[in-house]
Chains A and B, each alone.
Chain A
Amino acid sequence: MATLEVKDLRIRYNRSGPEILKGLSFNVEQEDFFAIIGPSGAGKSTLIRCINRLVEPNSGDVILNGRNITKVGRRGLRKARRNMGMIFQEFNLVERMSVMDNVLSGRLGYIGNFRSFLRFYPRADIQRALELLDEVGLSDFVDKRADELSGGQRQRVGIARALIQQPQILLVDEPTSSLDPKIAREVMGMIKQMSEEAGVPVLCNIHDVQLALEFSNKVIGLQDGFKKFEGPTKKVDKATLDEIYAMEIL
């Protein structure tokens, strides 16, 4: 059984507007590093956000390990979100909070209101946070405020925050577009390595084709809300790319 099944996903932002996703279906397996590529405006970010319902899809199913996320209520949705770690393009750390508190905020789905008000996390969470920060090379930055970090460092905090959720899948939205090429590659390597260690599949949308081909084992090519291509990364050649990016060339 696939970890994540997406079936016939459709969305339009307003009733009269254009359809952004036009019936997308695909499966993500346990060991996948799935790259979603395609020109700007193809619906890559919308797709990622539909999976944890930061954006509500109009129809279709998203099934994570047998549970249909599009059908659950508010409480069920929070439970489902806690099983999906997310990494963002603009890092989206809480700027005025310490690195440690930012990583710990990944555990919010597991603790109650009172504990989160007092920032009183279980010892095991704090220990895990420190281990993850050590793994991304930031164990000396625990007390720094997030806004004191560089872009690459912030994204590494973002990776730790996503992984401390003990997710069943990682949703990654353009992790490298705010970073320079060298750091972008480092961050991608880190996501790949740490997700493999944790045994978590990755669904990553990325416009940098080179990086996509280098790190992924499967690729979806999106164009104008349609799936133009799906297959193993090694099958992607110049002709496929030309087709996916056809609109941009015109």
Chain B
Amino acid sequence: MMPSTLEHKLAKILTKRKKYKAIRYGLYIFIFLLVLGSIQTTIIKDTDWEKIGTFGTVVKALARFFPPDFSLFPHLVKPTIETFMIACLGTFLALVLAIPVSWFAAHNITPYKSITYPIGRAIMTLSRSVHEIVWGLIFVAAVGLGAFPGILAVAMRSIGFISKLTAEAIEDINPGQMEAIRATGANGFQVILYAVIPQILPVFVGNTIFQWDINIRRATIMGLVGAGGLGLTFHRQLVMYNYGGVTTVIIALLLLIAIGEVGSYYIRKAII
């Protein structure tokens, strides 16, 4: 027989568990209704059921993409290289511009906290919340067609990611090392150089390589808004109804992305 104090506690625990059970089941039902509601409004209502194809027409539509149009291959070399270069230069530009942004946006080293910290954070948020296609449209409008707006768009998108992770790494550094360098009579620049950069370099380099990998993907779609590279070729083939050509471009894209994937793996391994 349990002592009465324990019995009392047990009763309390049991009622508590019962309450949680009710909450949990309530939550399940809520999520289920949410999914059901979404399906109702987006799929069932929005789809034009009159015109939807049968399984056969879907297969037929897909079949048009085969076989790939290999005659296009010689024309793909230049745009492929261009795409690759957009990614590389865009990443490089982002990497350089991310340095002052992360300096501003790390609250422990930001030079004038009430001014520079919000500026840094704002640039970060702006950069990350605008999609690369939108950046592409903006820069095509600003500097014209070609690879250059693509580079700028990719860079703008990357700055936010690199600087956010870098600023967070800066905020997590060991303050003792900063204190020690400051105690030698070093100035602010020297403190950053000797106590901050060595501590965050691995994170910074790792993120940059990761961004480079992602930027190759981003660069492939830049052409859709006229910002150079393979995307432009893709778009042209599509509007010419040359579906075989579209497939060839997709193959080239996949190859390029695979190169980026493998490349970033080995670079990361070599550096870190």
Contact = CB atoms under 8 A, between A and B. Distances in A.
B190 A96 contact: no
Contacts of B195: 94
Contact of A79 (B185, B189, B190, B201): B185
A88 B179 contact: yes
B177 A95 contact: yes
A10 B190 CA distance: 30
A79 B187 CA distance: 10
B186 to A, nearest CB: 4
A86 B194 CA distance: 16
A152 B169 CA distance: 28
A96 B198 contact: yes
Nearest to A80: B185
B184 A97 contact: no
Contacts of B205: none
A95 B184 contact: no
B128 interface: no
B180 A93 contact: yes
B199 A78 contact: no
B185 A82 contact: yes
A116 B190 contact: yes
A116 B195 CA distance: 12
Contact of A81 (B182, B189, B199): B182
Interface in B104-153: none
Given A88-B176, A105-B194, A108-B194, A95 B183 contact: no
B179 A92 contact: yes
A81 B181 contact: no
Nearest to A79: B185
A29 to B, nearest CB: 23
A14 interface: no
B63 to A, nearest CB: 57
A54 B184 contact: no
A86 B183 contact: yes
A86 to B, nearest CB: 4
Contacts of A106: 184
A206 interface: no
Interface string B157-183: 000000000000000001011011111
Contacts of A97: 194, 198
Contacts of B185: 78-83, 108-110, 165
Nearest to B186: A108
Nearest to A77: B185
Residue with the highest number of chain B CB atoms closer than 10 Å, among A82, A84, A96, A117: A96
A218 interface: no
A113 B198 contact: no
Residue with the highest number of chain A CB atoms closer than 10 Å, among B190, B193, B199: B190
A206 B184 CA distance: 21
A92 B184 contact: no
Contacts of B199: 94-96
A90 B184 CA distance: 16
A79 B186 CA distance: 9
Given A54-B179, A113-B189, A113-B190, A94 B198 contact: yes
B187 A92 contact: no
A161 interface: yes
B179 A109 contact: no
B198 A90 contact: no
Nearest to B176: A92
Residue with the highest number of chain A CB atoms closer than 10 Å, among B181, B184, B194, B199: B184
B187 A113 contact: yes
Contacts of B176: 88, 90, 92
Given A82-B184, A95-B199, A109-B185, A116 B179 contact: no
B183 A116 contact: no
A116 B194 contact: yes
Interface string A97-113: 10000000111111001
Interface in A53-92: 54, 78-84, 86, 88, 90, 92
Nearest to A74: B187
Contact of A84 (B179, B181, B183, B198): B183
A217 to B, nearest CB: 25
A88 B178 CA distance: 12
B181 A94 contact: yes
A126 B246 CA distance: 63
Contacts of A158: 180
A52 interface: yes
A82 B193 CA distance: 17
Given A109-B185, A165-B184, 7 more contacts: A78-B186, A94-B177, A96-B201, A97-B194, A105-B184, A113-B189, A158-B180
17 contacts: A81-B185, A92-B179, A93-B177, A93-B180, A94-B177, A94-B180, A94-B194, A95-B199, A96-B201, A105-B181, A105-B194, A107-B184, A109-B184, A109-B185, A110-B185, A116-B189, A117-B193
